């Protein structure tokens, strides 16, 4: 009797695990085919389409907008029951369990083949599901009659069975989760592709001719999305849809407000070109980029909540828990601090904060540029700390004046005579006043500046050098419009940004 009970139990587990493995395998195989190829979704959609009208009406009446979820839960419950049945039948009357599995797979194929979005390849995932489920069921049920004293050769020991079930269940769970995560990313990508950005009521000023230098190796004034630097702590890019997005604003406010995507769409959008910079940028580094940002003035939003007179910090939280703390004074002093939804004419790329992030000119990203932002707390610097400030980085994070040499290439060899030296300089929200170049320990010489776009963007520069033969070191330094010149002393990025002159060694020879 004990043995029979254990056999039945093993059968039930075999059924669960076999069907679970089959479902996971189907979802995994569907991934590279299309986000419409998921057999699970196809069966659910099939059932909705083919359920009698009264059942559908009943479901909508009973579950309201939760009807889809109710269907998925109901369907999962039926699958679990049928899986148990398949296992039981298979241990007592093989191969009847396989018939149940085949019926499952058949329904999947039927569902896939009759979808309006149907492509021939869509029948592959349910077939793979059926084959995997069948194979696992045969394997586990073969070992399912427990060993007894009379028949020590038969089946697997309890331990072997448990290990087999555990391994297959874990593998299925992991692949199922991966498949779900990836297909969700697919959904968000599709949503982003179809998203229509509002037309700005205030457009960015035109870029003056000459903002870009016409020499090879110079940094272009605008940075495209594909090459824009990316810095964040996210192991996995958060996947937040515009439907799920909300910004809760609370703390030292007259009234709490929660904004939705539709609320944003009802506001006037503005477009601004701003250079973003990371505090971790080393002297000469490339953790800076300039984009055309589309968004909403942060002050318009703060006006809706009424900021308390004692507050001095905006603590912004990302959907992944990361936080930045920005001085309110920098947001409300008239600069273009924005809640951003668009980057260079497109919705934000996922890795740059889709659907909503911040950009505050003049502040390093770690204290200002919160991506995937969902929460604003109006607070005080003596009460709250943000992610990086807790870890020893500077509290307020204004961007330090910087300049770098972009050409000629490091350690390059140039013929004597005219050499065009060119580079980039930035001092966001103060503006670049002057860039100077020095050869070896010669005098500082003034470089030519490209026309200024705004004090919130970087500025290209060049200098014509009549280069004599030999090995030389070029140095550059910038002076901002507050009159401060970059110091020579090298300081590491931690805690509040690197300083020091950028230099480049090259050879001039005929």
Ligand X SMILES: Nc1nc2c(c(=O)[nH]1)N[C@H]1C(S)=C(S)[C@@H](COP(=O)(O)O)O[C@H]1N2
Does residue 388 bind Mo ion (CB under 5 A)? no
Name which of 389 and 460 has its Cβ closer to ligand X. 389
CA distance 365 to 229: 11
Q: How many residues bind ligand X (CB under 6 A)?
A: 19
Which of Mo ion, ligand X, none sits in contact with 318, Cβ below 5 to 8 A by type?
ligand X
- Helices of type H across 155-286: 158-194, 261-265
Within a 10 A sphere around the Cβ of 475, how many other Cβ atoms?
Answer: 20
Q: Are 323 and 370 in contact (CB under 8 A)?
A: yes
Collect all residues with Cβ–Cβ distance below 8 Å to 54 and sequence separation of at least 6: none
| Cα-based angle 337, 338, 343 (whole degrees, multiple of 5) | 125
Does residue 376 bind ligand X (CB under 6 A)? no
CA distance 331 to 375: 16
**Which range in 363-371, 376-384, 399-407, 440-448 contacts Mo ion by CB under 5 A?**
363-371
Q: Is the dihedral of CA 221, 226, 227, 230 positive or negative?
A: positive
- Candidate list 146, 155, 355, 365; residue touching ligand X; CB under 6 A: 365
Provide the CB-side half-sphere exposure for 339 (13 A, CA). 30
Does residue 231 bind Mo ion (CB under 5 A)? yes
Name which of 16 and 393 has its Cβ closer to Mo ion. 393
CA distance 313 to 311: 6
- Candidate list 230, 250, 396, 484; residue touching ligand X; CB under 6 A: 230
Which of Mo ion, ligand X, none sits in contact with 352, Cβ below 5 to 8 A by type?
ligand X
**Which range in 184-192, 211-219, 307-315, 364-372 contacts Mo ion by CB under 5 A?**
364-372
CA distance 444 to 437: 5
Q: Are 312 and 326 in contact (CB under 8 A)?
A: no
Name which of 371 and 477 has its Cβ closer to ligand X. 371
Name which of 302 and 348 has its Cβ closer to ligand X. 348
- Per-residue x/- track, 269-288, ligand X (CB under 6 A): -------x-x----------
Does residue 393 bind ligand X (CB under 6 A)? no
Coil, helix or strand at residue 419? strand
Does residue 366 bind ligand X (CB under 6 A)? yes
Which of Mo ion, ligand X, none sits in contact with 230, Cβ below 5 to 8 A by type?
ligand X
Per-position b or e across 82-95, b if 16+ CB within 10 A of its CB: bbbbbbbbbbbeee
Name which of 20 and 365 has its Cβ closer to Mo ion. 365
Residue 477 to residues 54, 267, 284, 433: CA-CA distances in angstroms? Answer: 77, 42, 11, 11
Does residue 231 bind ligand X (CB under 6 A)? yes
Name which of 140 and 283 has its Cβ closer to Mo ion. 283
- Candidate list 278, 294, 356, 435; residue touching Mo ion; CB under 5 A: 278
* Residue ranges in contact with Mo ion by CB under 5 A: 231, 278, 365-366
* Residue ranges in contact with ligand X by CB under 6 A: 228-234, 276, 278, 318, 320, 322, 352, 365-366, 369-372
């Amino acid at each position: 009797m004990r043995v029979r009970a254990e056999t039945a139990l093993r059968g039930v587990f075999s059924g669960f695990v076999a069907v679970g493995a089959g479902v996971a395998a189907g979802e995994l195989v569907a991934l590279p085919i299309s986000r419409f190829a998921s057999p699970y979704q196809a069966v659910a959609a099939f059932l909705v389409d083919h359920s009698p009208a009264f059942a559908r009406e009943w479901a909508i009446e009973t579950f309201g907008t939760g009807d889809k979820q109710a269907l998925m839960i109901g369907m999962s419950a039926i699958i679990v029951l049928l899986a148990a049945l398949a296992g039981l039948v298979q241990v007592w009357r093989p191969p009847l369990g396989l018939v149940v599995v085949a019926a499952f797979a058949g329904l999947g194929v039927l569902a896939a083949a009759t979808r309006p979005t149907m492509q021939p390849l869509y029948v592959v995932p349910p077939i793979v599901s059926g084959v995997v489920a069948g194979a696992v069921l045969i394997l586990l049920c073969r070992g399912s009659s427990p060993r007894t004293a009379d028949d020590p050769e038969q089946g697997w020991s309890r331990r072997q069975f448990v290990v087999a079930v555990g391994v297959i269940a874990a593998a299925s769970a992991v692949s199922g989760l991966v498949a779900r995560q990836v297909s969700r990313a697919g959904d968000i990508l599709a949503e982003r592709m179809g998203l229509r950005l509002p037309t700005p009521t205030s457009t960015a000023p035109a870029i003056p001719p000459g903002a870009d230098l016409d020499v090879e190796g110079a940094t272009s004034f605008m940075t495209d999305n594909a090459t824009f630097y990316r810095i964040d702590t996210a192991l996995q890019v958060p996947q937040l849809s515009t439907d799920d997005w909300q910004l809760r604003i609370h703390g030292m406010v007259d009234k709490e407000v929660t904004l939705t995507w539709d609320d944003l769409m009802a506001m006037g959008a503005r477009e601004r070109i701003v250079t973003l910079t990371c505090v971790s940028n080393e002297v000469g580094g490339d953790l800076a980029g300039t984009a055309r940002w589309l968004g909403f003035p942060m002050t318009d939003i703060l006006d809706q909540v009424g900021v308390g007179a004692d507050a001095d910090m905006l603590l912004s939280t990302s959907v992944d828990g990361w936080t930045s703390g920005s001085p309110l004074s920098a947001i409300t002093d008239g600069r273009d601090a924005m809640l951003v939804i668009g980057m260079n004419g497109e919705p934000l790329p996922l890795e740059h904060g889709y659907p909503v992030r911040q950009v505050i000119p003049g502040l390093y990203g770690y204290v200002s540029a919160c991506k995937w932002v969902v929460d604003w707390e109006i607070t005080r610097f003596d009460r709250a700390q943000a992610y990086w400030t807790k870890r020893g980085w500077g509290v307020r994070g204004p961007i330090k004046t910087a300049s770098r040499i972009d050409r000629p290439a490091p350690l390059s060899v140039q013929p004597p005579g005219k050499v065009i030296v060119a580079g980039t300089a930035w001092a966001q929200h103060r503006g670049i006043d002057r860039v100077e170049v020095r050869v070896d320990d010669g005098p500082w010489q003034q470089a030519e500046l490209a026309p200024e776009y705004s004090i919130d963007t970087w500025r290209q520069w060049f200098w014509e050098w009549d280069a004599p033969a030999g090995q030389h070191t070029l140095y550059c330094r910038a002076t901002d419009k507050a009159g401060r010149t970059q110091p020579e002393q090298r300081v590491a990025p931690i805690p509040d940004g690197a300083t020091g002159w950028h230099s480049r060694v090259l050879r001039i020879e005929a």
